[in-house]
Every structure is written in structure tokens, then in C-alpha cells.
Amino acid sequence: MGVLPGSMVNVLRFSPWGEGLYIKVDNQLIALRKEEAACIVMK
């Protein structure tokens, strides 16, 4: 499980307090903290 080069990433929603978010990577749902999500670099 993870975000690999070439993966399709969609932000689904943010947590109510703004500290995290739910993303869909290909066909997997992943919950991340803002600090973790900031490490994902999009081209």
C-alpha cells in the first residue's frame, strides 16, 4: 500500500479539524496527516 510514481491520486475529503485528509490512490482509500500528505509531489 502506498503512493507510487504514476498513481492516480484524488483528494476525497478533509477531516473536520483540518489535520488530516482522505485520498484515493488508484483503487485504495488512504487517510493521511497533513504532514504526510505534504510529502506527495505532484507533476
Each residue of 11-23: pLDDT tens digit? 999 988 889 999 9
Binned at pLDDT 50, 70 and 90, residue 1 comes out as: low
User: Where would I find the H helices in the chain?
Assistant: 34-37
Binned at pLDDT 50, 70 and 90, residue 31 comes out as: very high
CA-based torsion, 29, 17, 42, 11: positive or negative = positive
Q: Which pTM was predicted?
A: 0.69
C-alpha neighbours within 13 Å on the C-beta side of residue 40: 21
Is 43's pLDDT higher than 70?
Answer: yes
Q: What is the mean pLDDT of residues 15-37?
A: 90
Domain definitions of the chain by residue range: 7-43
Residue type, 4: L
Q: With b meaning 16 or more CB within 10 Å and e meaning fewer, what string describes 5-26?
A: eeeeeeeeeeeeeeebbebebe
